[in-house]
């Protein structure tokens, strides 16, 4: 069994110093948005939707990790070298991210004991009603982090006003991700 070493230290709010046996790195961001840079040159940006387990991650650069075959038995080395599949794996989900998100929303409804704000947010997201999501983001503290995040993702216009509104939602979501602002 291999040993894993991974340690993260909070430097200042929104910045973490990460240390593992192969590299050191810095992570910037709070809540659902992160940007990570490590000593091997790898850069990773990720954005997630709180409470859903869904996130988007884009990584670039860096030196790939290589696994050594020297410590393995000859049969294990042969099996690792011949680890190819005859046919290509089928994708788990297909379509645009918006279509996949809508499918996930239809499959997972708020529970029986969910609050009215959570049920209204689910209904607004199913109907793609940006106005209702904005209203919930500004009026309901329990769902405001998720509502601000969704509102920032739902704004599809490329105008300056839409970009400012999206930026305001992102700043609000990052601010709400701080522990001292947790309701």
Tokens representing residue 32 in the block: 């659902």
What per-residue confidence (pLDDT) applies to 60? Answer: 83
Tokens representing residue 65 in the block: 């990790």
Calpha distance 56→97 (Å, rounded): 10
Cβ atoms of residues 60 and 37 within 8 Å: no
Question: What pLDDT, in 10s, does the model give residues 71-89?
Answer: 566 666 666 555 554 556 5
Calpha distance 137→143 (Å, rounded): 7
Sheet hosting strand 6-12, strand order edge to edge: 6-12, 15-20, 24-28, 33-38, 43-49, 54-60
What does the pLDDT average to over 35-59?
A: 85
Calpha distance 122→115 (Å, rounded): 11
Q: At 90, phi and psi to the nearest 5? A: -80, 145
What separation in angstroms does the CA of 20 have from each of 30, 75, 130? Answer: 21, 30, 42
What per-residue confidence (pLDDT) applies to 178? Answer: 59
What does the pLDDT average to over 98-110?
A: 72
Cβ atoms of residues 83 and 72 within 8 Å: no
Residues in contact with 156: Cβ distance below 8 Å, sequence separation at least 6, in sequence order: 162
Among 28-37, 104-113, 135-144, the range scoring the smallest mean pLDDT is: 104-113
Residue 98's pLDDT band, with cuts at 50, 70 and 90, is low
3-state DSSP assignment of residue 158: coil
Q: Model's pTM, two decimal places? A: 0.42
């Amino acid at each position: 069994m291999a040993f894993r070493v991974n340690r993260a230290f909070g430097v200042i709010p929104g910045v973490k110093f990460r240390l593992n046996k192969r590299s050191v790195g810095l992570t910037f961001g709070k809540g659902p948005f992160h940007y990570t840079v490590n000593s091997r040159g790898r850069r990773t940006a990720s954005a997630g939707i709180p409470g859903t387990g869904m996130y988007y991650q884009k990584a670039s650069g860096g030196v790939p990790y290589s696994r050594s075959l020297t410590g393995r038995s000859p049969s294990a080395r042969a099996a690792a070298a011949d680890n190819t599949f005859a046919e290509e794996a089928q994708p788990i989900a297909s379509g645009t991210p918006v279509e996949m998100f809508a499918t996930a929303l239809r499959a997972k409804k708020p529970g029986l004991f969910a609050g009215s704000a959570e049920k209204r947010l689910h209904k607004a997201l199913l109907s793609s009603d940006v106005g209702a999501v904005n209203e919930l983001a500004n009026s309901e503290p329990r769902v405001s982090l998720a509502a601000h995040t969704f509102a920032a993702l739902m704004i599809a216009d490329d105008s300056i006003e839409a970009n400012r509104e999206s930026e305001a939602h992102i700043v609000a979501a990052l601010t709400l991700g701080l522990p001292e602002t947790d309701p």
